[in-house]
Structure 1
Amino acid sequence: MIKKLKSLREKKWAQILLIPFAFIYGWVIEMRNFCYHWRIFKTISFPVPIIAIGNITAGGTGKTPFTLFLLELLKSDFGRIVVISRGYGRESRGVRVVSDGQGAILRAVEGGDEPVMIARKCLNVPVIVAERRSKGIQTALEKFKPDLILLDDAFQHRQVARNCDIVLINQHYPLHQAHLLPRGNLREHVRNLSRADMVVITNSDGHPETTELKFLNRHFRGEIFTCRNHDDGLVDMWHKQTGDISHLAGEKAIVFAAIAEPEQFKNLLLAHDIAIADFLAFPDHHAYKKEDLADIYQRAKSRQCRYIITTEKDLVKIEKGVFQEINLVAVSLKISMPDMQKFRKYLLRYIDIN
């Protein structure tokens, strides 16, 4: 469905056809924001600092790597940090404790691929999923007594009051050329960035386009930071380091991924001279079926590949040994930020930590 919508948007006639639907969608979102702004819809406050990480577009900005970055950055300032997410792609409902921070972790089908990935990489961090984040926060307060809560994908989830709103923007997809859903991938009008406290441009080369910066500065008056993803080695089924990605240079491999922007992942591998024999892109948060995995295995075997490569987000959905003798590895990603200490200083101001 997502692939069909993306291909549809590329056609001029479809762009015209989708204008009224985008207008209706935008009107509904603006009415909702109006109700929150004038307190017709109530927000719920909690006795714990909350940082919300979100975006203004539909997917592909790197919220999960950024959440991991924040956990590392703030771990010395807070005794216990809890991550709360909606848990896209899971089959369960309601509040579920994905990880209690002591080792027990739900499967991706119950907890969602991204929350389970965070739980496996940060074994001492409690992770909770809940459609209604307020109920997830209440569970966190009762069970874990957190010093800080990271609220994943929550810029549009306005029911919960927060100390700081961080909005991520992918440099590869300029906002000044974007349109509202379903015509484009904007979740709401760019002018609503005025609600944010900080904006971070992800996948950045450190030099955002002048046109884009001017456009952002018209709608957002706060601090703008940049960061980029880079590979942090290869990992096994439990996200333990198994070597450097450079070891795969020249190796023929089958690659699969179910992420919002698979081409970025493909380009990363090509930059390391990995010979991609076949690249399979599935819809974001795709739940792999037996036939999907059997197809991947047969492709690798018929092309005599020694490796099957995927993302860490996809790795959590694969059972051990499913590809038999062929090595399954995932590329670990890590965020680097040029002004990291300045970013940390600004962030702590919002949550009253000196």
Structure 2
Amino acid sequence: MKTRLARWLVNSWYKDSVIGRLLIPLGVVFSIAVRLRQFLYSLGVLKKHTVPVPVIVIGNITVGGTGKTPLIIWLARLLEKTGYRPGIISRGYGGRSEVWPQWVTANSDVKRVGDEALLIAEQTGCPMVVSPMRVDATRMLQRHTDCNVLLSDDGLQHYALHRDIEIAVIDGEKRFGNGRCLPAGPLREPINRLQSVDFIVVNGKKLEENEFSMTITGDSAINLVTGEQKPWQQFIGIKCHALAGIGHPDRFFKMLKTAGLSCTNHSFPDHHPFQSHDIEFNDDKPVLMTEKDAVKCSAFAGNRHWYIPVKAVPEPGFSEQLLALLREKYDR
């Protein structure tokens, strides 16, 4: 019941619904509170923690997934390729550790550190620390690594940490919904917050000149048990199950459909704590899932379970401008 109500509320944010209009007063109060908090940080009443290396924040101004995780993985690889030593910090959303901060490696317990953090650590191999207080995570990285640039996952609203470069990621299909702040709409901050970020990356088709487009691509599936890799074409003509516990599951399902796969789709809430019965459907059809979901299902998956690895591909001009700005930060 709780999940259905949450989905109903989220759906109302992306159309001119009655519930959205009724919640406008609460959205106004939320917006005022957000602006007041920003103002207090700008005055120095609320303190910011500054670190001696550049900090790149990747986040969004809406609730739900926009494609930040693939972009962070791409950024970490780009920085390493160009000679930097990136470290990564995150809140560790979904992690239930009793002690923070927590180091994250490819062998970490997903229940302690969260699914996105584990996926990022697996894919990048970069030093990574998670904590609800990102400043604490930053301090741990400073003490124990020689990282010379930090990537902050989903930290756009975490003003306690000073940042040198801000990257906002937008869902190209949903954009900003009804344009209202929580709980009347999907916005964590008013839309004009984008005027102060350094880069706007759109997961999909860009609409404004100051935006950079990004595509999420994939063409294969990997078996959770055996590690076997197959091209998508080998699943065409076979009835499959597709499951996703991400911010916008329909994007994943649409990607599979566009590739020619025929799937029965199963949506779960973002960061869903999967159990074995969630991925069994009493038949022998292949089950396809996102890589983010796979890190939580590997312990009880069978030979029918496959995950779809994807990668972010921003337009070329983005990397050029980002690296140029980063060099400026080092020269100051």
Same fold, judged at TM 0.5 (above): yes
Q: Quick one: distance in 1 between partners of 2:227 and 2:168?
A: 30
Q: Quick one: distance in 1 between partners of 2:172 and 2:226?
A: 28
**1:201-280 maps to which residues of 2 (within 5 A)?**
201-204=202-205, 208-209=206-207, 213=208, 223-237=210-224, 242-276=229-263, 278-280=264-266
Alignment RMSD (CA, Å): 2.3
For 1:128, the equivalent position in structure 2 comes to: 129
Contact persistence 2:202–2:213 (CA under 8 A): yes
Give the letter for the 1:131 counterpart: P
**1:88-167 maps to which residues of 2 (within 5 A)?**
88-93=93-98, 94-99=100-105, 105-122=107-124, 124-167=125-168
Asked if residue 308 in structure 1 is aligned to residue 287 in structure 2, the reply is yes
Is the alpha carbon distance of 1:239 and 1:296 closer, same or farther for their aligned partners in structure 2, counting shifts above 3 Å? closer
Is the alpha carbon distance of 1:312 and 1:229 closer, same or farther for their aligned partners in structure 2, counting shifts above 3 Å? same
Higher mean displacement: 69-78 or 131-140: 69-78
User: Residue 177 of structure 1: CA displacement?
Assistant: 4.4
Instruction: Give structure 2 stretches of 5+ with no counterpart.
Output: none
For 2:321, the equivalent position in structure 1 comes to: 343
Is the alpha carbon distance of 1:241 and 1:30 closer, same or farther for their aligned partners in structure 2, counting shifts above 3 Å? farther
For 2:176, the equivalent position in structure 1 comes to: 175
Is the alpha carbon distance of 1:47 and 1:310 closer, same or farther for their aligned partners in structure 2, counting shifts above 3 Å? same
Q: Quick one: distance in 2 between partners of 1:241 and 1:77?
A: 32
Contact persistence 1:81–1:125 (CA under 8 A): yes
User: Residue 239 of structure 1: CA displacement?
Assistant: 11
Contact persistence 2:79–2:85 (CA under 8 A): no
* TM-score (normalised: structure 2): 0.90
Q: Quick one: distance in 2 between partners of 1:23 and 1:91?
A: 32
For 2:271, the equivalent position in structure 1 comes to: 285
Instruction: Give structure 1 stretches of 5+ with no counterpart.
Output: 218-222
SS at match of 1:227: strand
For 1:220, the equivalent position in structure 2 comes to: none
Q: How big is each residue's C-alpha offset from its partner over 1:30-58, in whole Å with a ceiling of 9 and x where there is no partner?
A: 11011112221111111112111011111
* TM-score (normalised: structure 1): 0.85
Is the alpha carbon distance of 1:331 and 1:280 closer, same or farther for their aligned partners in structure 2, counting shifts above 3 Å? same
Give the letter for the 1:201 counterpart: V
